Structure 1
Amino acid sequence: MIWTTTPWTLISNTAAAVNADVDYVVAQATDGEHFVIAAALREKVLGEDSRVLETIKGRDLEGTSYKRPFNWVEFPETDAPIHTVLLADFVTTEDGTGIVHEAPAFGAEDLALCRSYGLPVVNPVLPNGTFEAGIPEVAGVFFKTADPRLVELLQESGLLYRHLPYEHSYPHCWRCHTALIYYAQPSWYIRTTAIKDQLIAQNESTNWFPETIKWGRYGDWLNNNVDWALSRNRYWGTPLPIWRCEEGHLTCVGGRHELAEIAGDHTLTIDPHRPFVDDVTFACPECSGLATRVPEVIDCWYDSGAMPFAQWGYPENNKETFEASYPADFICEAIDQTRGWFYTLMAIGTLVFEESSYENVLCLGHILDEDGRKMSKHLGNVLEPIGLMDEHGADALRWFMLVSGSPWQARRVGHGTIAEVVRKTLLTYWNTVAFQSLYARASEWDSSTASLTGLTDLDNWAVSQATRLARDVDLALEQFDTQRAGRFIAEYVDDLSNWYVRRSRRRFWDGDHAALSTLHHCLKVVTQVMAPFTPFITERVWQDLYTTPDTESVHMSVWPTWTDEAISDTLRDQVELTRRLVELGRSARATSGVKTRQPLQRALVAAAGWDSLPEGLQAQIRDEVNVLNLESLSGTAELVDVSLKANFKTLGARFGKSTPAIAAAIAAADAKQLVTDLKSGKAAVVVGGETFEVGPDDVVVTEVPREGWTVASDSGESLALDLALTPELIGQGIARDVTRLIQDARKSSGFDISDRISVVWESSMDVTTDALIAHSAMVSAEVLATSWQQGTVSNATALDDELGLKVLIIKA
């Protein structure tokens, strides 16, 4: 019993195939009919009531003859075993009957198997997909359309045992979805199997990104190399340069000049493509008979593989230019080119020059829509790059494509995802540049005087991190890893804007030379390392801030130099600790409900190495957390009350019935001691004389700050805030609130950052009045007030009802 999923190929049935090592049975169905079928499929196909009469191995069926289902096509006379059982490893017992129909014209495995037995290839299907004239019942019918009629004929002749719908993959045209056909036809070949070892050796010396492709997808292709089917049957194309006479003599022509020597100089002026070149004939060099060109053209992938030398007209022209540029340092294409361009370049290079055409390969992932689907005109989900660039900018699209994932990963592209990367990095970079430009102009700072001397700890950190950025981006791009390089850039741009600039804002207002020099230097490094990613925005920044007669373009500038000695890991670690403590301070503030602008007397810090931080960085913590003093905290025990509860879920999974007793022991334990033990990673409780180890996941620890304190902790580091407020602290808080009120009023009134103002204020509350008198100098300096007067305000610029305050500001 033979099975097939393609009834239309039964007309060309040439043989049947079984697996030599599979058990087959002669079985009797319930209707008494006998069948040969794979033992593993007997019950599935014939039913449980079928009976086994005999068991045989597949190899014993080899050579068994049978009657083909359709006797419509002629087979040439041969001694080969036509219409007999063959042995094939690809036959399985997962589906069907374990005996497979063979039609070598329509399947690669079928063709290889039948050729190994010397069987002929019979093909009644024309190149247009219809059956040729003279085939009964289906002549002129499209091959897939013939299936229903052929099934009917099998049923009528009693040869059909069962017809079942069977879902399986089948190739279709990706544009019109017409069913395609596997179709064996004659071809000219390049014997690439003869250089398999050389190709593998060339691959060994090639750098692949990602490296898994080297001996994965591409390596498998080389290890299973087959000869390259070079010819195609097309109307137009690069001609196969072979002429054949009626005696079958073949003449291969090496170029146009050689053709002119054989056929005449007139051939130098004709279009060398098909069909024009087909008019060229000449006398066969062997027999003088008329030689005409064979009708095939060359696979266009050969053209692509010949590109390294064909582009120069080598070997007839530009010999030195070609030799200086071969092999290429780098090639970049989508991952599906492992069996396309990457292969043809290496194969032709190895055949002609005994050396691959490239040294490094970067495989790009495919572009998907925002839902993860492959883009297709048919699906209507194609995003045109010009439209994306018109809406978001060319640099935004470039940055997204280079940074949103590793180059070899598939990525989802959409307007939302591109807009997000623009907001996160490119706008931050642009705004930081604008900030530098604004305050440099406001203070009339001359960039030619920039110098990296007399820097603060924060300045030194920014410069060191800029040097680290140049190094890390350099090394990442050497490995073709644009995602990692982009991540370094994005992180540094964020650090520069949201930490360095924010923490140095007061210095920029004052026109501080060191701060302006530092930011000028750091932005120059960022601009240079970003230039390959975003060439347009960085060129604009370069023209505005950095152009010189010697370096008019960022793309002509020298890549930032770096040395490991110029990079301070110690300073990096200190700033990271500073920022972690600031975050703990903010968290503690948020928990306490005390607003950030209200100064507090002190913060207690418990963190390894904090007391060795330079004074400049400790000052950053004080300013950010808004406390007057920092002091050491040996631990949080004296500031919080600790309670413990058992995590029944994790304990139950480990201790089962003992869990309630262990939970009671946890609740009764010395909470502070148990927490200390848990922080070391391991603690224990004793129940009935037996010791049970518990971990941090087994215990729920609740810390409640004692009155007057708030505490935040993370990863062994803690910061506690003393919430006690004195009249002096309250006054300072009011002064800061008023400063913010006036700054917002300046902005809403459209004042320039450098504009000086006069301020008249009036308050109905004594506490506000006292604070503004005591801190008038501080507030005036912050808001650039040249005049600060208490008086009557009838037409207020800004109001604060909680402070009972009215303020009038006028440009001085």
Structure 2
Amino acid sequence: IVVMLKEEGKLFKSEKHTHNYPHCWRTDKPVLYYPLDSWFIKTTALKDRMIELNKTINWKPEATGSGRFGNWLENLVDWNLSRSRYWGTPLPIWRTEDGKEEKCIGSVKELCNEIEKAVKAGVMSQEESDKLGYTKNSFDLHRPYIDGVVLVSDSGKPMRREPDLIDVWFDSGAMPYAQIHYMGEQLKANQFPADFIAEGVDQTRGWFYTLHAIATMCFDSVAFKNVVSNGLVLDKNGNKMSKRLGNAIDPFETLGKQGPDATRWYMITNSQPWDNLKFDVEGVDEVRRKLFGTLYNTYSFFALYANIDGFEYKEADLPIEKRPEIDRWILSELNTLTKTVDEALADYEPTRAGRAIQEFVDAYLSNWYVRLCRRRFWKGDYSDDKISAYQTLYTCLETLSRLMSPIAPFFSERMFLDLNNVTHRLDVESVHHAAFPAVHEEMIDKELEERMQLAQHICSMGLSLRKKSNLRVRQPLSKISIPVHGEHFQHQVEAVSNLICSELNIKGVEFLAADNNLLVKRIKPNFKTLGPRYGKIMKAINAAVVAFSQDQINALEADGRYEMTVEGQPVELTLADVEIATQDIPGWVVANEGSLTVALDITVTDELKAEGIARELVNRIQNIRKEGFDVTDRIAVDLLHGEWDEAVKQHMEYICNETLCTEFNFVDAISSSEKQPIELLDGMNTEIWVRKK
């Protein structure tokens, strides 16, 4: 145009302007647009019905169904069906040259019948039909073969196929019918509509839409009942992965190094499937170590002692009421977990299921149940208590293998077979042939779970206080003191006091009245929660809260809420609206979390110090045993004389029982090359010789 204007002498001014223009993402060539005649499906005629049926689909997340997909349906236009290409599904429409008559062929059978009519009418020869294979029913429906088919109109005119192809998304949307042939109403007896599909969120205008549109138009039905709309996998910084940018993760290298189960578990539990995932290889390694490593070690611990005792689960199941409380607790938590996982998977929320399994393995099974029950497994007599421990831990491991099998099929298969091949409790060859675990409601004891959770909470606070005071857990202490706000709370703590004492290595738990004067508490408001609610009077609220008396603080902790009036305006406080701390007192350290206060007596008497030395010695001997002894080996010990002699003598029976020591000698010198230096306490160094008897 510019050249033409210039030649005609009509060009006033010529300039270059930079503007956006679409380019092919593969070749970077400019995309050219041409106006073409196209075939359309009038989807707008069923727009309202599509919207109505969409509301019956369980979308995960719901916002994709009501938002992105719902908005797409609200702004629906007719479906441009035809494409000007060569490869693909031919448009099954034949028209006369004048375009006044047309036929749309709906099946191979119908096409054969129409070809037979065309041959009889003379618009297509028998030779042409035979050459294309239609009389032998061995024809190809694709181009160029289908283009040779000429049909006859009702008025006797030749009809040729429209040269266009069908949109490939129509092929995808017709998947439910294409895989088993179009059956009309019989289709519903052949697993239609689908229970579940999953694809990327970009499919709202692709596969999700075409499935929904075709099902609505043909069967007045949805094509799927449940759908998970997946997010994207990005790099650890939230950027799109690209080989060009150097931030792409090699999936085969990751799978080879970390394993498919750890990779899959990380991807499913790190974020909801519909959220974008910031993929970090270090996160996969953490899952491999913390979940699968912990489970492997737990199974190895079980197998070690089960093999020593010959446990094969031949004994009848011990009644639940006759098992120790800690066994009843872990079985209660196991059934609660089974219920949670079953409900989560049924609701298409694998992230919630996986995280629940992780929490059970880490917080309940490994770091609480197994640690507190170790002695039950290695003590000598094969009593009902030991059998209960074996049966309980076996049940936990076997149930876990089935619960986690949908996410970790390989690890769960190995663990299941290692267990079941010994006991043969389930008559199946694979964990994937086993039934999903059933929930035993009668084993769920919520009060027991609450009680044990309280014990874990108290122990966590107590261990933090030990760390704060630089006191090793092996050093026994006198007691902890806990203010109580009611009889139920005290009863719950008393019921688990033995576990608390064992875990914290203390001699007892002392209860204080809530209004005691021993512990002095301080309180201040939480501006993050109170500010948005009481912005204008926050200064006055702050003054009122910090002036609370000990009785007011105790009342807030006991009730969980406190009402007051500030500048004529009612104000309601909860424990989340304040921060409560307790002042340390001489010989004690104190911690607060919510309404729970724990005070630890950190005074170490000579008697407690002696016991601590004995426990440290047991630890050093056990570490030496791990290096070159079997768990059943009896040993002899030579220890140099020193300031620890009296402490060791006081607790000799305990030391020998814990280490399977049958001979213990105090010596002035050790000549053996197998002697080892050890440190019992800071600055308390000596030498020891441990040998097999």
Tell me, yes or no, whether TM beats 0.5.
yes
Per the TM alignment, residue 410 of structure 1 is displaced from its structure 2 partner at its CA by: 1.2
Shift of residue 642, structure 1, vs aligned partner: 6.4
User: Does 2:341 match 1:473?
Assistant: yes
**Structure 1: which amino acid aligns with 2:140?**
D
Q: 1:387 offset after TM fit, Å? A: 3.2
Q: CA deviation at 1:181?
A: 4.8
Partner of 1:84 in structure 2? none
The amino acid that maps onto 1:175 is R
Task: Give the C-alpha shift of residue 285 in structure 1.
Answer: 2.8
1:633 aligns to what SS in structure 2?
A: strand
- Shift of residue 203, structure 1, vs aligned partner: 1.5
Q: 1:180 aligns with which of 14, 26, 31?
A: 31
Instruction: Check 1:715–1:445 CA distance in 2 against 1; reply closer, same or farther (3 A cut).
Output: same
CA drift at 1:183: 4.5
Any conservation in 2 of the 1:262–1:282 contact (CA below 8 Å)? Answer: no
What residue in structure 2 maps to residue 227 of structure 1?
A: 78
Q: How does 1:513-662 map to 2 (within 5 A)?
A: 513-547=387-421, 548=424, 550-608=427-485, 609-613=488-492, 617-635=496-514, 638-640=517-519
Q: Which amino acid aligns with 1:472?
A: T
Distance in 1 of aligned mates of 2:436 and 2:337: 12
User: In the superposition, relative to structure 1, how do residues 315 and 371 fare at CA in structure 2: closer, same or farther (>3 Å)?
Assistant: same
Aligned with 1:423 (options 285, 289, 296): 289
Q: Is the 8 A contact 1:637 1:672 kept in 2?
A: no
Residue 644 of structure 1 deviates from its aligned partner by: 8.8
1:656 CA drift (Å): 11
User: Are 2:59 and 1:193 equivalent residues in the alignment?
Assistant: no
Partner of 2:123: none
CA displacement at 1:177 relative to structure 2: 3.9
CA distance in 2, matches of 1:514, 1:672: 47
Q: Counterpart of 1:44?
A: none
Match of 1:399 among 265, 272, 276: 265
Output the CA distance in 2 between the equivalents of 1:367 and 1:254: 41
The alignment covers a number of residue pairs equal to 651
The answer as to whether partners of 2:582 and 2:592 remain within 8 angstroms in 1 is no
Q: Which residue of 2 aligns with 1:716?
A: 595
How far did 1:366 drift?
A: 1.6
Aligned to 2:166: 298
In structure 2, do the counterparts of structure 1 residues 337 and 385 end up closer, same or farther at CA, with 3 Å as the change threshold? same
Q: 1:196 Cα shift?
A: 1.9
Letter in 2 for 1:612: H
Instruction: For residue 359 of structure 1, give the secondary structure of its aligned residue in structure 2.
Output: strand
Select between 567-576 and 174-183 the one with higher mean Cα deviation: 174-183
Shift of the 304–154 alpha-carbon distance from structure 1 to 2, 3 Å rule, reads: farther
* Change beyond 3 A, Cα 1:541–1:193: same
Amino acid of the residue matched to residue 628 of structure 2? Answer: G
Preserved contact between residue 763 and residue 803 of structure 1 (Cα < 8 Å): no
| Partner residue, 1:274 | 143
Aligned identity (percent) is 37
**Offset at residue 558 of structure 1 (A):** 1.5
User: 1:799 aligns to what?
Assistant: 678
Pairwise CA distance, 1:336: 1.2
Post-superposition shift, 1:289?
4.0
User: Measured at CA, do residues 231 and 560 of structure 1 come closer, stay the same or move farther in structure 2, by a change above 3 Å?
Assistant: same
Does the residue aligned with 1:360 lie in a helix, a strand or coil?
strand
Question: Where do 1:84-233 residues align within 5 Å?
Answer: 137=3, 157-158=11-12, 171-181=22-32, 183-233=34-84
| Aligned-partner SS, 1:572 | helix
Residue 207 of structure 2 corresponds to residue 356 of structure 1: no
Q: Amino acid of the residue matched to residue 460 of structure 2?
A: E
Question: Closer, same or farther in 2 for the Cα pair 1:779/1:189, shift >3 Å?
Answer: same
**Aligned match for 1:501, one of 370, 379, 404:** 370
CA distance in 1 between counterparts of 2:662 and 2:605 reads 30
> Match for residue 301 of structure 2?
435
Contact 1:531 1:539 in 2 (8 A): yes
CA distance in structure 1 between the partners assigned to 2:24 and 2:139 by the alignment: 36
1:375 deviates by 3.2
Report the CA distance between 1:171 and its aligned residue.
Answer: 4.0
Distance in 1 separating the partners of 2:525 and 2:211: 66
Q: Which runs of 5 or more structure 2 residues have no equivalent in the other structure?
A: 116-128
CA distance in 1, matches of 2:50, 2:374: 61
- With structure 2 as the length reference, what TM-score do the two structures score? 0.84
Aligned equivalent of 2:179? 311
Equivalent residue, structure 2, for 1:733: 612
Equivalent in the alignment of 1:261: 113
Please give the alpha-carbon distance, in whole angstroms, between the structure 2 residues aligned to 1:627 and 1:648.
38
TM-score by length of 1: 0.72
SS in 1 for 2:287: helix
**Which residue in 1 is equivalent to 2:118?**
none
Q: Return the offset for 1:519.
A: 0.7
Return the letter of the residue paired with 1:314: Y
- Relative to structure 1, the CA distance from residue 466 to residue 692 in structure 2 (aligned partners, 3 Å threshold; closer, same or farther) is closer
Bigger Cα displacement from structure 2, 799-808 vs 267-276: 799-808
Bigger helix fraction: 2
- Report the residue type matching 1:409 in the other structure: D
Task: Output the amino acid matched with 2:370.
Answer: V
> 1:80: which partner in 2?
none
TM-fit CA distance, 1:775: 0.8
Are the aligned partners of 1:309 and 1:322 in contact in 2 as well (CA < 8 Å)?
A: no
SS in 2 for 1:329: strand
8 Å CA contact 2:336–2:444 kept in 1: the answer is yes
Quick check: 1:250 aligned with 2:102?
A: yes
Contact 2:305 2:378 in 1 (8 A): yes
Please, which runs of 5 or more residues in structure 1 have no aligned partner? 1-134, 139-149
2 CA distance for matches of 1:240 and 1:648? 67
> Greater relative contact order: 1 or 2 (C-alpha under 8 angstroms, separation 6 or more)?
2
- In the alignment, the residues of structure 2 paired with residue 646 and residue 294 of structure 1 have an alpha-carbon distance, to the nearest angstrom, of 76
Structure 1 pair 300–699 and aligned structure 2 pair: CA distance change class (3 A): closer
SS in 2 for 1:593: coil
Distance (Å, rounded) in 1 between the aligned partners of 2:539 and 2:238: 48
Matched, 1:367 2:248: no
- What letter is aligned with 2:391? S
- CA deviation after TM superposition for structure 1 residue 462, in Å: 0.4
In 2: Cα distance, 1:306 partner to 1:692 partner? 62
